[in-house]
Amino acid sequence: GNSVTQMEGPVTLSEEAFLTINCTYTATGYPSLFWYVQYPGEGLQLLLKATKADDKGSNKGFEATYRKETTSFHLEKGSVQVSDSAVYFCALRNYGGATNKLIFGTGTLLAVQP
């Protein structure tokens, strides 16, 4: 079946530190991969996406590369800010069947300290 595994949090970093949040997936077919972010008290916002192998999604300084050989989609940012504190969700959508549903990981809480 389809599933997403992401590293457990919380991840606590100092401002300007390098961030990596690991995400690996299991899927049949050819999934699209996503990172969503949930700021405190808000809904889920699409942060970035990649639709095929070797694609790199990027937004707001965050990047993730779709690695088919390692079934991974790790989220990175070179220099985090306090305003990046949020919960980050890795997700996939598999176009192998007639479904548009997203399958989410458990979420990783990022806390950035000044």
Partner 1 sequence: EPEVTQTPSHQVTQMGQEVILRCVPISNHLYFYWYRQILGQKVEFLVSFYNNEISEKSEIFDDQFSVERPDGSNFTLKIRSTKLEDSAMYFCASQTEGDYGYTFGSGTRLTVV
Which of 44, 55, 65, 71 binds partner 1 (CB under 8 A)? It is 44
Task: For residue 7, state whether it binds partner 1 (rule: CB under 8 A).
Answer: no
Return the DSSP state at 67. Answer: B
Q: Which two tokens stand for residue 21?
A: 């949040």
Interface segment toward partner 1; rule CB under 8 A; list 14-22, 23-31, 69-77, 98-106: 98-106
Task: For residue 99, state whether it binds partner 1 (rule: CB under 8 A).
Answer: yes
Task: For residue 32, state whether it binds partner 1 (rule: CB under 8 A).
Answer: yes
Site for partner 1 in 61-90 (CB under 8 A): 89
Rounded to a whole number of angstroms, the minimum distance from the CB of residue 112 to partner 1 is: 21
Q: How many CB atoms lie within 10 A of CB 114?
A: 6
The residues, ordered by sequence, that sit 6+ positions from 9 with a Cβ below 8 Å of its Cβ are: 87, 107, 108, 109, 110
Task: For residue 114, state whether it binds partner 1 (rule: CB under 8 A).
Answer: no
Nearer to partner 1, 5 or 71 (CB): 5
Query: What's the rounded Cα separation, in Å, for the pair 36 and 46?
Result: 4
Q: Which amino acid is at 113?
A: Q
Query: What's the rounded Cα separation, in Å, for the pair 94 and 106?
Result: 18
Summarize as ranges the residues that interact with partner 1 (CB under 8 A): 32, 34, 36, 41-46, 49, 51, 89, 91, 93, 98-107
